[in-house]
Amino acid sequence: MVYMPAEDSYLLKEWVEKLARGRVLDMGTGAGIQSFAALNKAKSILAVDIDPEAVEYVKNSLLFIKKPFEVRVSDLFSNIKEDETFDFIIFNPPYLPESKYDKKVDVTGGKEGWETLVKFFEEAKNHLNPGGQIITVFSSLTNVSKVLSSARELGYKFKLLAKRIIAFEILYVYLFELK
């Protein structure tokens, strides 16, 4: 099932429209909202998702796009070649902790919620051009301090761009760069 945009997607989209540049990777593209938000400023876009249905959904939306735009199935960086690097990586990750009621891969980021993000940061280092940036969104339910301390240990510096309180959580948009 394709992850359709929600509050987190729209908050992230505001910043993607402002900051996207160069060769863009949209990790976990879902319905493609971030890719389409990056179109005006990107040189090229690669959109990936673990869900083949999401990949087909985005491919079908590309009929009139004239910019280099590729879509493929990938579990994080599993289907991204070693030499593929990017200036701007967007990640709207699954970030909620698993519960007995919800273990869906499109919303849960692991048992505690932060595991997928940390794995992403470990792998992203190999695909980020010098001076490149990563933008991501996650929740107060994710264990923010664990995400940020892990990113710092992996060599990233970061900046909080936005914070929005919604019904039962706080959403955060962060910009990451390698030190």
What mean pLDDT, rounded, does the chain reach? 90
C-alpha span between 178 and 152 (Å, rounded): 9
User: Span 118-142, mean pLDDT?
Assistant: 96
42's tokens? 């990107």
Higher per-residue confidence, 160 vs 167: 160
Q: What is the pLDDT of residues 31-69, one digit of tens each?
A: 999 999 999 999 999 999 999 999 999 998 877 777 889
Return the closest-CA partner of residue 55 out of 89, 82, 26.
26
Domain 7-178 architecture: 3-Layer(aba) Sandwich (3.40)
CA-to-CA separations, 23 to 38, 69, 104, in angstroms, rounded: 10, 10, 30
27's tokens? 């990790």
Annotate 66-126 with DSSP letters as a single string: -S-EEEEE-STTTTS-TT--EEEEEE----BPP-SS---TTTB-SSSS-HHHHHHHHHHGG
Q: What is the pLDDT of residues 54-108, one digit of tens each?
A: 999 999 887 777 788 999 999 999 999 999 999 999 999 987 776 544 444 455 5
pLDDT of residue 100: 45
3 state DSSP class of 1: coil
CA-to-CA separations, 34 to 25, 95, 100, 111, 157, in angstroms, rounded: 10, 17, 30, 26, 23
Model pTM above 0.95: no
